[in-house]
Structure 1
């Protein structure tokens, strides 16, 4: 399967710039996810790759074939890309087999070969025995598999998936993403996946591109995106984070606004001046009464406000000075004043500017 190259891609609708200078390369056989909130430009990027939108500027190539460049625009039917939409877009008056036959008829594949390709594609998604059913006779998960089989039946060079699991309930979605990942690895097909679900992106992807307001903010492996988010906005969107503002008082020290206490942070993570310290809830350890904190860690005193049992752990809301933060632990029944411990290396540091996105700025101000 070929690699995908997108360079300096821009798209405007009138005066509204929905994509600004987007560039990335997807390796042969890679599962690459475009992640971001609604309106960030991820679906528009996918539509440009598919040929459903014509970019204002930039180039798109798949393997040796150039689809978009100055003076060049290959229409969707000339790109040999498979696409699955959020709605599945199955024809209700056609059986499963007839739905899969449609793209083969358009490509003028003979009837005998059609039957072989349909059987093979349905076998890949585990639905060979349902080929004579109609879409309304299938569950949501089965419809999703039919849509995927229809995208695979003509052996596309690249698979494009636009939030294909969003219509499934939570348990079925978890099962479907595990199955989808196995299938993609078995086929070795280059895949571009669009989602706003960060957990889904972390579970499925070889690499993730986080988008915001038409810009590409960070590209990296799931671990890189989660462990070392490039900006406070990425940290807020991918997983949960506590944000605490403060002032640098040394090369590796920050005095927190909420308590006036000085905490140690990774040296050189940010220069002097105003900063925002971000800490994941699971990186805050709550010590039981009577237990001493180890050396070389940050020790904070907080008050338990609420606790929630969510099966594998407890989530606590805690008051830290004039700020409310969240922590996760396996310890039940905590109340009153508690001691928090956080490793310096677990503190993420970002410059504090007035240019913080409003949704992140609200978290910092909480």
Structure 2
């Protein structure tokens, strides 16, 4: 399967610029996810790759074929890309087999070969026995598989998926996610996936591109995106995070506003800088009062406000000075004053500026 190259992609709708200089390369056989909130430009990027939108500027190439460049625009039917929409877009008056046959008929595939390709593809998605049913006779999960099978039946060079699991309930979505990843790995097809679901992106992707307001904020593996987010905005969007403000007092030292105490962080800083400290809830270790934390950890005193049992762990809201922070642990029944211990490496520092995203500002100031 070929690689996908997008360079300096721009898109405007009238006076509204929705994509700004988007550049990335997707490797052969890679599962690449465009992740971000609604309105960030991820679906528009996918539509430009598919040929459903004509970019204002930039270039798009798949393998040796150039789809978009100065003076060049290949229409969707000339790109041999498979696409699954959020709504599935199945023809309701056609059976499952007839839905799969349509793109083959458009490509003038011989009838006997059509039957073979349809049987093989339905076998891959586990729906051979349902080939004569109509979409309204299928569950949501089965419709999703039919839509995927229709996109795969003509052996596209790249598979484009626009939030294909969002219409499924939570449990079925988890099952479909695991099945989709196995199928993509088995086929080895280059895949571009659009979602706003962080868990989905982390579980499925080889690499993730986080988008915001038409910009590409960070590209990396799921572990890189989660463990070392490039900005406070990425840290806030991907997973849960506590945000505390403070002032640096020297290299790798921050005095927190909420407690007036210093903590260590692995960042090269000079004194007097205003920073935001981001800490994941699972990186905060909660110790009952009186327990001694290792000397190499940051130690803070907090008070338990609420606790919730969520199956594999307990989630706590704790008052830390004039802030409320969240922490996760397997320890049940913690109350009153406790000790919070956190490794310096888990304290991520970001410059605090007037440009800090509003959603991050809200998280920083909550419960003051």
TM-score computed with the length of structure 2 as normaliser:
0.98
SS for the counterpart of 1:278 is strand
Deviation at 1:335? Answer: 1.1
The answer on 1:91 being equivalent to 2:95 is no
Residue 228 (structure 1) aligns with:
228
- Going from structure 1 to structure 2, the CA distance change for 1:122 and 1:269 (only over 3 Å counts) comes to farther
Q: How does 1:157-172 map to 2 (within 5 A)?
A: 157-172=157-172
Deviation at 1:271? Answer: 7.6
- C-alpha distance after superposition, 1:291-333 (max 9, x if no partner): 2111111110111111111111111111111111100011111
- Going from structure 1 to structure 2, the CA distance change for 1:70 and 1:271 (only over 3 Å counts) comes to farther
Residue 357 (structure 2) aligns with:
357
Residue 217 (structure 2) aligns with:
217
- Going from structure 1 to structure 2, the CA distance change for 1:183 and 1:151 (only over 3 Å counts) comes to same
SS for the counterpart of 2:141 is helix
SS for the counterpart of 1:240 is coil
Judge conservation of contact 2:267–2:349 (CA < 8 Å) in 1: no
Judge conservation of contact 1:159–1:190 (CA < 8 Å) in 2: yes
- C-alpha distance after superposition, 1:193-222 (max 9, x if no partner): 000000000000000000000000000000
Q: C-alpha separation between the residues in 1 aligned to 2:202 and 2:21?
A: 25
Deviation at 1:32? Answer: 0.1
Q: C-alpha separation between the residues in 2 aligned to 1:38 and 1:265?
A: 33
Structure 1 moving runs of 4+ over 6 Å: none
Task: Please list every run of 5 or more consecutive structure 2 residues that lacks an aligned counterpart in the other structure.
Answer: none
Q: C-alpha separation between the residues in 2 aligned to 1:26 and 1:138?
A: 34
Task: Please list every run of 5 or more consecutive structure 1 residues that lacks an aligned counterpart in the other structure.
Answer: none
Residue 344 (structure 1) aligns with:
344
Residue 32 (structure 2) aligns with:
32
Q: C-alpha separation between the residues in 2 aligned to 1:195 and 1:270?
A: 39
SS for the counterpart of 1:113 is helix
| Aligned residue-pair number | 366
Q: C-alpha separation between the residues in 1 aligned to 2:132 and 2:265?
A: 62
- C-alpha distance after superposition, 1:310-365 (max 9, x if no partner): 11111111111111110001111111111100010110000000001111111111
Q: C-alpha separation between the residues in 2 aligned to 1:314 and 1:297?
A: 22
Q: C-alpha separation between the residues in 1 aligned to 2:309 and 2:137?
A: 38
SS for the counterpart of 2:89 is coil
Residue 81 (structure 2) aligns with:
81
Q: How does 1:38-53 map to 2 (within 5 A)?
A: 38-53=38-53
Q: How does 1:125-274 map to 2 (within 5 A)?
A: 125-268=125-268, 272-274=272-274
Deviation at 1:290? Answer: 3.1
Deviation at 1:289? Answer: 3.6
Judge conservation of contact 2:288–2:337 (CA < 8 Å) in 1: no
- Going from structure 1 to structure 2, the CA distance change for 1:270 and 1:143 (only over 3 Å counts) comes to farther
RMSD, aligned α-carbons: 0.9
SS for the counterpart of 2:226 is helix
SS for the counterpart of 1:181 is helix
Judge conservation of contact 1:270–1:350 (CA < 8 Å) in 2: no
Residue 329 (structure 1) aligns with:
329
